[in-house]
Structure 1
Amino acid sequence: MVNHGLQRIPRFQAENLEHNKTVFERVNDMATKMGCTPGQLALAWVHHQGSDVCPIPGTTKIENFDQNIGALSIKLTPEEMTELESFASAEAVKGDRYAGGTAFTWMESDTPPLSSWTSE
């Protein structure tokens, strides 16, 4: 069954799909080598971005929740971070994430820096 909604997303259009499948295969291979799922590898990567970054994955299934929690035990070396970023960076993926090229993201937000937060 083909999801026709995906055909409108530039990343899934024919001119980008083959390249992006290769990116996924490399992420999948790295995850297999590390003994985790690609999703766990992605969450682990986010965890390694700094103490002021925390992924908030959504799920409705306990098995997915358990996999998400499992990402906390994945420790990436600086070399593994560099390897992953070399083929899975935003610049490496072809095609916009959303149809029309824009969507509201963290880049357009006014979140104050962590250093300005208080615990009153």
Structure 2
Amino acid sequence: MEHSTLHQAHGTFASYTLGFVISIALTLAAFALVAGHILAGGTLVFALVGLAVAQLFVQLLFFLRLGKGTKPYWDLSVLYFALLIVIILAAGSLWIMQNLNYNMMQMSSEEKDAYMIDQ
């Protein structure tokens, strides 16, 4: 009986452990920045976004094994499609909320309350 060689390579225990340790370190760094009031304002937001992007790459490389399979092109295609869907959903949600805000701002607070109760 032969074993199939068509499956993708799985990560080793060491690579999963390293990815887990890096993820925990990035999470604790973000928590320390916020809880310790080390940074403030725009600098804090910039640092948190940087840590979030680093966390994203750690997750993609160590756990999803992006680019390590037999066909990394397809992995990237699926990732790009998922990213496109997320962008469409986020942009559509923001567009709807902006339109709702515009349409509701023309009413007084009493009119808004009455409208919400009627609905």
Q: Which has the higher helix share?
A: 2
TM-score tier by shorter-chain length is 0.3 to 0.5
What TM-score do the two structures reach when normalised by structure 1? 0.37
Higher alpha-carbon Rg: 2
Asked which structure has the greater RCO (Cα within 8 Å, sep 6+), the reply is 1
- TM-score (normalizing by structure 2): 0.37
